[in-house]
Amino acid sequence: MNEIILKIEETPQQHIGRGRAIIDPKIIEDQKWNTGQILELSYNKKTHVKLWPGAPEEYGSGIIKIDGMTRQNIGAGIGDKISLKIVEVVNAEQIVLSPTEKITAEGLQDYMIHNILIMYLQQVIQYLLTLRWVEKFSLL
């Protein structure tokens, strides 16, 4: 399969945080891809997103629309050109979560005062994992 290179643009508001990449419909047609397949995006790093078709007026544009979190996960910005390919996925056996910043013992105690907070965080994490494909070192 040939390497596919597309230019990054910002994703529409309704797609932000959903782990989607909106792709030029011509690329989807040429590659015989289907909505919902998993794409591997590569720049400085790699991440995975769900394929979503662009609008008909974007046909032949050579554009991929991804949100800020996805751009951060691959180390790219608006206007950068990234490579992508379809990948097969498997279910994770285990996912380990860690904070993105240091939490002191005093700070941890403040966060864990009530068990309700823990239950709420569990629900939020479960919801996030239904929206996004996760790989090592990804931000959620």
Global pTM value:
0.69
CA 58 to chain centre: 21
pLDDT digits (tens, 9 = 90+) for 5-63: 999 999 999 988 888 999 999 999 999 999 999 999 999 999 989 999 999 999 999 99
The fold adopted by the segment(s) 4-87 is: Barwin-like endoglucanases (2.40.40)
Average per-residue pLDDT for the chain: 82
Question: What percentage of residues in the chain have a pLDDT greater than 90?
Answer: 51
75-83: average pLDDT: 96
29: tokens are 């047609």
User: Any idea what the Cα angle at residue 128 is, between residues 93 and 35, rounded to 5°?
Assistant: 85
User: How far is it, in rounded angstroms, from Cα 37 to Cα 10?
Assistant: 20
Query: In this predicted structure, what is the pLDDT of residue 90?
Result: 78
Res. 88 pLDDT band, cuts 50 70 90 = confident
Cβ atoms within 10 A of the Cβ of 80, count?
14
Query: In this predicted structure, what is the pLDDT of residue 19?
Result: 87
Under a CB-based contact definition with an 8 Å cutoff, are residues 49 and 11 in contact?
A: no
Res. 67 pLDDT band, cuts 50 70 90 = very high
Under a CB-based contact definition with an 8 Å cutoff, are residues 18 and 66 in contact?
A: no
Element (H, E) at 49: strand 46-53
